[in-house]
Amino acid sequence: MDIVDSAARMQTHALRWRAAGNTVGLVPTMGCLHAGHAALIAEARAACDRLVVSVFVNPLQFAPGEDLSVYPRTPEQDIDCCRACGVDVVFRPAPGDMYAPDASVTIEESQLSRGLCGRSRPGHFSGVLTVVAKLFNIVQPTLAVFGQKDAQQAALVRRMIRDLNMPVTLLVAPTVREPDGLAMSSRNRYLAADERSQARTLNQALMAARALVGDGERRAGPVLERVRAMVATGVPSGTLEYVEIVDAETFEPVSVLTGRVCIAMACRIGRTRLIDNVMVDAAPPGQVAS
C-alpha cells in the first residue's frame, strides 16, 4: 500500500492506471475511519482493480465556528484500517496542496442543497462538491462509493455527476450502525457517556416514524411529530436542529408521503452534531409498502 501526499503524484498514478485499462475505485473520507468507512472500502475493493481512499479534512466544507480545528484525526489507525481493507493508495493531501491561496473556482448547486444540512450549514455543500470534483479529477475514479448516512450529500454528488457529465459511477452504501442503532460517525467520540446513551434515541425515533408510515400514515405532520416527541423525551441534552421528510430524489419537503421518501434529522447533543436518516417507501393507499 502506498501513501501519497501530493495531488500531482496521485494524479500521475491514476492516469497510469487508467491508461493500462484498470478500473479505479475511490472512497473519499475525512479520516478517523470506522466500520462504516470500512464497509464502503469493501464495496469498492470488490468492484475495482485499483482502490484509493482519500483522507482529507476539507476546510472548505466547515463554516467558521464549526469543528474543523478539533475534528478527530487518527492517522496511524487510518493507515492500519486501509491496509487491512486491501487499499492500494491512501491519498492524504495537505490543505495547501489542494487549495491555492487564491483559489477562486467552486461548485454550487441550487436545488437539492437548499434544505436540511444545506440550510443549517451555509456553504457546506459547495465545499463538499468542490472537493469531490477535485478528488475525481485527481484520482480519475471509474467508481466512487459514498455512504447513505449522508443522504443529502450522496444525492448532491449524484446530481453533480449527472449535470457535469462526470465519467464516474456512484455507489451509495447502507449506513453502518452500532448495536443500539446509532449511526457510526467519527463525531460519536465527542459524546460523553450520558450523551452517548441518549443518542440511541435518534435512530429509534426514525424507526418509529418508519413504522407509522408502515401502518398507513401518509401525512408528514404526525410522522414528524412522533420523531420530535421521542427526541424531546429521550434526548434531554439534545436540540433537534431539523427533522424533515423529503422526496428521495429531489430532496424537496413533502407534506403527503408518496413514493420513496427520506426522513432525515440533525440533532445537537452537547457540542456534538449528529445526523441520521431512513429511506421509506410510502406505497399509495391500498398497496402494500415494500
Residues in contact with ligand AMP by CB under 6 A are 29-30, 36-37, 39-40, 146-147, 149-150, 173, 175-176, 183-186
- In our burial notation (b when 16+ CB lie closer than 10 A, e otherwise), range 26-53 reads bbbbbbbbbebbbbbbbbbbeebebbbb
Helix (H) or strand (E) holding 83, with range, is helix 75-84
Do the strands 238-247 and 259-269 form a parallel or antiparallel pair, or are they unpaired? Answer: antiparallel
Nearest one of 151, 288, 283, 280 to 224, comparing CA atoms: 280
Q: How far is the CB of 145 from ligand AMP (least distance, A)?
A: 7
Q: Please state the φ and ψ torsions of residue 55, each to the nearest 5 degrees.
A: -125, 105
Give the residue with the Cβ less far from ligand AMP, 146 or 190: 146
Q: Please state the φ and ψ torsions of residue 232, each to the nearest 5 degrees.
A: -60, -40
Q: How far is the CB of 63 from ligand AMP (least distance, A)?
A: 16
Query: What is the dihedral angle through the alpha carbons of 213, 274, 80, 142, rounded to the nearest 10 degrees?
Result: 60
Give the residue with the Cβ less far from ligand AMP, 134 or 149: 149
Marked catalytic residue, from 13, 34, 37, 124: 37
Q: How far is the CB of 180 from ligand AMP (least distance, A)?
A: 13
Give the residue with the Cβ less far from ligand AMP, 201 or 220: 201
DSSP alpha helices (H): ranges in 65-139?
75-84, 95-98, 116-120, 124-139
| Cell numbers linked to 75 | 492517522
In the residue annotation, 34 being an active-site residue is answered as no
Q: How far is the CB of 87 from ligand AMP (least distance, A)?
A: 14
Q: How far is CA 166 from CA 18, 106, 142, 172, in A?
A: 15, 16, 10, 16
DSSP three-state, residue 228: helix
Give the residue with the Cβ less far from ligand AMP, 78 or 244: 78
Do the strands 272-282 and 2-4 form a parallel or antiparallel pair, or are they unpaired? Answer: unpaired
Give the residue with the Cβ less far from ligand AMP, 157 or 224: 157
Q: How far is the CB of 217 from ligand AMP (least distance, A)?
A: 27
- Positions marked catalytic: 37
